[in-house]
Amino acid sequence: MKTKDDAPGAGMGAPVRVAGQALQVIEGEAKARQYLARLQAGQADPDELAVICSMLYSAALRGFCRAIEKALGVQR
């Protein structure tokens, strides 16, 4: 029988993983803000969004998408 100590993500490494994911989310959000600034300035190439998204995954992609949703005014 498993205890809480045996649960996935438990232990000393869990805070490090959470911090790493938070940094990836922040990185994705920053990339979105940079892209949106270039887009609003008329400096973004149409293919740039696809290139940026193709390089992102996991938490970074989630942060990127969240920032784009905010900029578009998506309400949940």
Which tens digits make up the pLDDT trace of 7-46?
A: 565 666 778 888 889 999 999 999 999 999 999 999 998 8
Model pLDDT, residue 8: 60
SS3 22: helix
User: Residue 62 domain-assigned?
Assistant: yes
User: Residue 13 domain-assigned?
Assistant: no
Residue whose pair of structure tokens reads 């390089």 in the numeric block: 55
Cβ atoms of 56 and 45 closer than 8 Å: no
DSSP letter assigned to residue 49: H
User: Residue 52 domain-assigned?
Assistant: yes
Question: Whole-angstrom Cα distance, residue 1 to residue 3?
Answer: 7
Structural domain tally of the chain?
1
Higher pLDDT, 4 or 31: 31
Kindly provide the residue ranges of all beta strands, DSSP E only, lying in 1-76, ordered along the sequence: none
Enter the pTM of the model. Answer: 0.75
- Residue span of the structural domain in which 51 resides: 18-72
User: Residue 10 domain-assigned?
Assistant: no
Per the structure block, which two tokens stand in for 3? 């205890």
**Sign, Cα dihedral of 46, 52, 55, 61:** negative
Confidence of residue 74 (pLDDT cuts 50, 70, 90): confident
